[in-house]
Chains A and B, each alone.
Chain A
Amino acid sequence: MPNDYLLSLPILAAAGWSVLLIILEAMLSRAALTRVFAMLGFALVGGLSVIGFPLQGLAFSEMLRIGGFQHFANIIFCLSGLLVVALSEKYLDDENVHYGEYYIVAFISVVGMMLLAAAANMAILFIGLEMMSIALYVLAGLMRRDVRSNEAAMKYFLLGAFASGLLLYGISLIYGATGELALHKIAIAIQTGSASMLFWIGFGLLITGFLFKISAVPFHQWTPDVYDGSPTPAAAFMSTGAKAAAFSALIVVVTNFSTLLQNSPTWSLVISSIALATMVVGNIAALAQENLKRMLAYSSVAHAGYMLVGIAAATPDGYSGIMFYTLVYTLMNIGAFGVVALLESKENLLLASDYAGLFKHRPMLAGAMAVFMLSLAGVPPLGGFIGKYKVFAAAVDAKLTWLALAGVLASAVSAYYYLRVVYFMFMRDPVGEAISAPATSSLAFALIAVAVVLLGVFPTEILRITDAALKFAQLPTQTGF
């Protein structure tokens, strides 16, 4: 079955490359080299996904589902990995934790994300999720001598293991109810028979596991502590790549059961309520944060809420909106975390007020950070706005106007805490010594900022791609052969 290999080439290449990285690090143990190879690997895998974009079908005894959707998700994961690795070095050096293993673990995590998005079978779903999560636990605890990093890793691990348990239990109940593990076969079994109570309980547990990973309320409590304690680049990785992966898997699961879920008012109500609670709690809690990492953590909770609005809408437009959203979010959030990491590692600056007068000394860096903040707040013509526009439009289309209205009001609240950073950077005079940062990194952030602006002004082609990418995920019964 050469077709199987061709279809899943990006995943296979990623898995192979991670082995290469391990060998490389074991033989030479030079972190800088491993870093370069990890970046090459991300570029390679991303490139393979771009080339393989039109290919679609089920692979390896219907274990993997590959299509435009998975390829698009792979590109986001690789982008996230690439940017995080690129921005990590300085931070890790300053914290004296610059190990080559860091890059290997991040790479393995991306392999897990790719498996998660490509899962056609719940066994693969679980393997992908665990592969991603365990790697992230390690990244969270990278700073062994730092109490808070240890606490973050422990907290993340315990709660994550608990969520994995729920998810696994859900899978077993669904298997008990339908006798199938493959998602599309379960969908057929449900359609021919009817969804039993056992199935619904299992499905609920499965979704709960995902909600934990995307840090939706009320499963969000771990987020601020973990992001705060983890190395900042790792937190950027968790909030973008891992979130995108969990959303991709969630979209795959719900599109498989779309006929069932569209006829269930309870489902719509439950997801809408969770989305609402996530937006409200995330934004209000973020208002009260002085520490930027915690602020970004709650902001990431709030953004999970906006994306959930697309799930609640349960239309192709909504899912396509989420895909676009995760792409923009990856760029702007890694940008924001990256700036925090850059300044934090130099001067241990963590409060918004520490950024006072940044504009005077580093105008380009301050400008890029302002673009990230305004984009996170959803101000046009920046990319974050188009993402929000798409998911809220889908909600209005699905007669959830109240949810969209609540969403826009929540994002008006969010403008306050994002602007506070801009306020200190531009409208306050610097206190103390000038904040220094290397010019090259300012340029890197400026490039990311330009990408965020371009996604806001010319989103058309990307939106076409996300629309097209969803087609295959939409057809649960198509086997492809």
Chain B
Amino acid sequence: MESSVLSLVIFLPFLLSFPLFSFNRAQHGTARWYALLSSLLVFAGALYLALQFNPSSGFQFEHTALQNWLGDSMDVKYSVALDGTSMLLFAFAAFMFPVVVLGSWERVTTNAREYYFFLLMLETCILGIFSAVDLFLYYMFWEAMLIPMYFLIGVWGGNGRGDAATKFFIYMLTASLVMLIGILSLGYISREMGGTFTTDYHKLLQLELPLSVQNILFWLFGLSFFVKAPLFPLHTWAADVYSESPTGAVLTGVLLKMATYALIRFNVMLFPTASANFAPLVCTLAVVAIIYGALVAMSQPNAKRLLAFSSVSHLGFIVLGIFSFTQEALQGAMILMVNSGLTTGLLLMLVGWLEERRGDVRLSEFGGLKKNMPMFSAAFLIATFASIGLPGLSGFIGEFLTLSGAFKSTTLQTGLYAMLAALGVILSAAYMLPMVQKIFTGELTSERNAALSDLTPREILVAALLVAMIIWIGVAPNSFLKLSETSSQAVIEFVTQKSASQALAK
């Protein structure tokens, strides 16, 4: 079916961002209400798509335009669609934006129009990334996203914001440019194998790429995603960016899911044999990331940096789930993507609010907050438990599926990865709980801490929304799992069949 509803939803935030400039520059009140309504409208659109979505079939809501975008010698076009792999993340991203707008309600008072302009522009880029089915279009969104991110971090971030923004930009740009060479090579290879230069995802899936080519392209593409994920040892930008980002840093949580999504969408699907071959190596890195991230998190004196490293550890689970090549693990990874966005997002937002009140996020500065901030403590505790995978909350189901899938994986051949990764679950309790302890328990020793006020109704609303999602996924995961069930099965079958036929050809 050819319809432009999906495109409308993708570009709605961008189109809605321009009227912002007609607002009075000094007044930030109207701008934020406008941004909230705009993002809610987009979320309504995404929700409509999710309800129309048929989980048992493939790509839906396809819309193509701009045929031969880059001249007649190249089959490059604007082409978007959603399938089971992307639908959940698409809706999740649209859900997070109103939350972020509410979350940074009081924080952004200077240049508010520009802040919301970039935020809405970012939303278009992210929705585009989750729905592009042309590699060139995907690349455009993927890189264009750097511009709003750069300004959001650099203008409205913490004290070291400028350097963090530059670091983020350069890291991402370098890795993406390498992927650009990968996209170009892939396009020309498809021409050599009979046909035209193409970046059409559907056509590229049909290619029978020789293994040697797959091996090279796997890393040209993978580098970009591994940097953004971030997978150990490419994670060095993450802590700075997390700690300097504005409250909209919650976005980092959403952002990083784009990389793991792209791993499934592009690396695994386009280079299945290479992916299967490199699975042990990638999973080793993932397990190292899980344990290394947890160990470093343990020694962080700063709450934001601690969360950054915990996120590195979580990303390890997701990557492990993807590269185990069992349906169970893959579905676990998809749920984990949403979960880590929710829990790390909530935690970062809570820490951000604490920073707004206190101007500091060093753990040693706090203690006994549960006395004067009960609501804050409750929200923080729930997010912490979800983050360490307590049953009944969203973290458990994802980690369980991932680990049991990885344990049974025939690609990995050994349960060792799953066993070592399980260690990470224990370690996560070992760094999260002491943080909770340091902030909330004990006596209220410092006067400045005693003066801190509890969450405002607005903040309670935001936290409650996220907590509701966390509990919903934890209690009734099936409503989410069924979205991706067919497509994850299709991914696994596709990979198994492709790598088997390639092994046979040898």
Contacts and interface: CB of A to CB of B under 8 A. Distances in A.
Interface of A: 317, 320, 359, 363, 374, 377, 379-381, 385-386, 389-390, 392-393, 396-397, 401, 404-405, 408-409, 411-412, 415-416, 419-420, 422-423, 426-428, 458-460, 463-464, 466-467
12 contacts: A317-B73, A320-B71, A380-B143, A393-B187, A412-B173, A412-B174, A416-B170, A426-B151, A458-B66, A459-B69, A460-B68, A467-B73
B162 A379 contact: no
Interface string B126-170: 000000000000011001101100110011000001100110011
Contacts of B177: 408-409, 411-412
Given A379-B144, A396-B188, A467-B72, A427 B173 contact: no
B240 interface: no
Contact of A460 (B70, B162, B173, B174): B70
B173 A415 contact: yes
A405 B151 CA distance: 28
Interface residues of B, number: 37
B72 A408 contact: no
Interface in B397-418: none
Contacts of B150: 419, 422
A408 B72 CA distance: 24
A373 to B, nearest CB: 11
A408 B174 CA distance: 8
B114 interface: yes
B70 A463 contact: yes
Given A380-B139, A396-B181, A415-B173, A460 B188 contact: no
A320 B70 CA distance: 11
Given A379-B146, A381-B144, A405 B69 contact: no
Contacts of B197: 397
B44 interface: no
A397 B185 CA distance: 8
B419 to A, nearest CB: 39
A389 to B, nearest CB: 7
Contact of B188 (A397, A419, A422, A466): A397
Is the contact region of chain A dominated by helix, strand, or loop, or is it mixed? helix
A295 to B, nearest CB: 16
B174 to A, nearest CB: 4
B164 to A, nearest CB: 10
Contacts of A427: 154-155, 161-162, 165
Contacts of B166: 416, 419-420, 423
Nearest to B157: A427
A220 B230 CA distance: 40
B70 A386 contact: yes
B180 A408 contact: yes
A317 B178 CA distance: 21
A397 B144 CA distance: 25
A380 B70 contact: no
A156 B165 CA distance: 39
Contacts of B68: 460
Contacts of B174: 409, 412
A389 B155 CA distance: 29
A408 B178 contact: yes
A415 B147 contact: no
A389 B169 CA distance: 19
Given A427-B165, A459-B70, A374 B184 contact: no
A144 B111 CA distance: 44
Contacts of A392: 180-181, 184
A88 to B, nearest CB: 30
Given A317-B71, A392-B184, A467-B73, 11 more contacts: A317-B73, A320-B71, A379-B144, A396-B188, A397-B197, A401-B185, A412-B170, A412-B173, A419-B169, A422-B150, A460-B68
A428 B188 CA distance: 44
Contacts of A397: 188, 197
Nearest to A428: B162
Given A396-B185, A409-B174, A412-B173, A381 B66 contact: no
A305 to B, nearest CB: 15
A464 B72 contact: yes
B377 to A, nearest CB: 35
A401 B181 contact: yes
A463 B71 contact: yes
Contact of A423 (B73, B154, B180, B185): B154
B140 A381 contact: yes
A374 B185 contact: no
A188 B319 CA distance: 61
Nearest to A459: B70
Counting chain B CB atoms within 10 Å of each CB, the highest count among A320, A374, A397, A427 belongs to: A427
Contacts of A408: 177-178, 180-181
Contacts of A426: 151, 154-155
A426 B139 CA distance: 26
Nearest to B146: A379
Given A412-B177, A460-B66, A423 B184 contact: no
B188 A379 contact: no
A420 B177 CA distance: 20
Contacts of B169: 415, 419
10 interchain residue pairs of minimum CB distance: A408-B177, A463-B71, A412-B174, A427-B162, A396-B184, A427-B154, A380-B140, A380-B143, A381-B144, A393-B184
Nearest to A456: B140
Contacts of B178: 405, 408-409
A460 B69 CA distance: 5
Contact of A467 (B71, B165, B173): B71
B66 to A, nearest CB: 7
B224 to A, nearest CB: 11
A410 to B, nearest CB: 10
B143 A379 contact: yes
Contacts of A385: 143
A404 B184 CA distance: 10
Contacts of A467: 71-73
B70 A389 contact: yes
Counting chain B CB atoms within 10 Å of each CB, the highest count among A374, A393, A459, A466 belongs to: A393
A454 to B, nearest CB: 13
Contacts of B70: 386, 389-390, 459-460, 463
A477 B114 CA distance: 57
Contacts of A381: 140, 144
Contact of A374 (B139, B140, B147, B170): B147
Counting chain A CB atoms within 10 Å of each CB, the highest count among B66, B71, B143 belongs to: B71
Contacts of B71: 317, 320, 390, 460, 463-464, 466-467
A427 B66 CA distance: 36
Contacts of A363: 114
A402 B140 CA distance: 23
A374 B174 CA distance: 14
